[in-house]
Homo-oligomer: A and B are copies of this chain.
Amino acid sequence: MTHWARFSDGNGRSGFGAIDGDRIVEHTGDLFDRPSLIGTSIPMEGLELLAPCTPSKIVALWNNFRALAAKLEKQAPAHPLFLIKPPTSLAGPNQAVRRPRAYQGKIAFEGELGIVIGRRCKDVPVEEAMRYIFGYTCVNDITAAEVLNEDANFAQWTRAKGYDTFGCIGPMIATEFDWRNSHVVTRLDGVERQNYPLADMIYSPAEQVSRISHDMTLLPGDVIACGTSLGVGSMKDGSTIEIFIDGIGSLVNTLAA
């Protein structure tokens, strides 16, 4: 298994590489198309980690966990239900989440597994879908909760979830990941708020990639946020929020005070 990360060295230079202990083994070229080993290994201390990829779209699922569906008294959907978070919503590890100007309402965290697409992908059968998954990352699908149902005629999923910095991903991409035996753990200021098994997913990663690839072409670096489960809540300005997935890592962000 490899963990890939992108970084900035603080002097305006960015790069990417494979994690080796407390160092990054730098590579060059295209992360998704046979990147070349440069040969340098850089101590991670002092590097700023960036979002591990730059998706052209983040496809974010709603109602994809049985426990949350049961709590909300919703049926499992007949097809993955999703919206798109734009590329401008992207935020990386430790990046500040910014409250939208003039919005004083609740800002919710949603800890999620993210699927990172590795190859251009259209109309892919489910049995081939795993070949299009490059790896997995942590997602915090941040939501301006009071925007969502502001208009009785139109649920504003895109607006509520599309604000700049509301698509937190990272800290790295794990190329092998046993999702069936892992959990998503969310900690708000150090206090556990979510801890749910990924095995409770309604549409598995392969099913999501297959189904969504019938709805739109998925591109290398695109991210599918697999939806959340029980324990979603809101953050106060200045709160620190951590999404931890065993086997991937810990994505930490702070809601700017």
Contacts and interface: CB of A to CB of B under 8 A. Distances in A.
Nearest to A155: B155
Main SS at interface, chain A: loop
Given A155-B154, A159-B215, A56 B86 contact: yes
A236 interface: no
Given A214-B100, A214-B102, A215-B163, A56 B87 contact: yes
Interface in A213-252: 214-217, 219
A88 B220 CA distance: 12
Interface stretch (A8-16, A33-41, A71-79, A183-191): A71-79
A101 B217 contact: no
A214 B100 CA distance: 7
A164 B213 CA distance: 10
A123 interface: yes
Interface string A86-120: 11110000000000111000000000000000000
A162 B159 CA distance: 16
A159 B101 contact: no
B217 A84 contact: no
Given A56-B86, A57-B87, A154-B81, A214 B101 contact: yes
A137 B156 CA distance: 26
A82 B219 CA distance: 23
Given A86-B57, A216-B163, A156 B81 contact: yes
Interface in A190-229: 214-217, 219
A151 B84 contact: no
A123 B78 CA distance: 38
Contact of A63 (B77, B154, B155, B163): B154
B86 A83 contact: no
A153 interface: yes
Given A56-B56, A158-B158, A214-B100, A122 B164 contact: yes
The 4 closest A-B pairs by CB, nearest first: A81-B154, A88-B217, A84-B84, A57-B86
Interface of A: 56-57, 62-63, 74-75, 77-79, 81-84, 86-89, 100-102, 122-123, 150-151, 153-159, 162-164, 214-217, 219
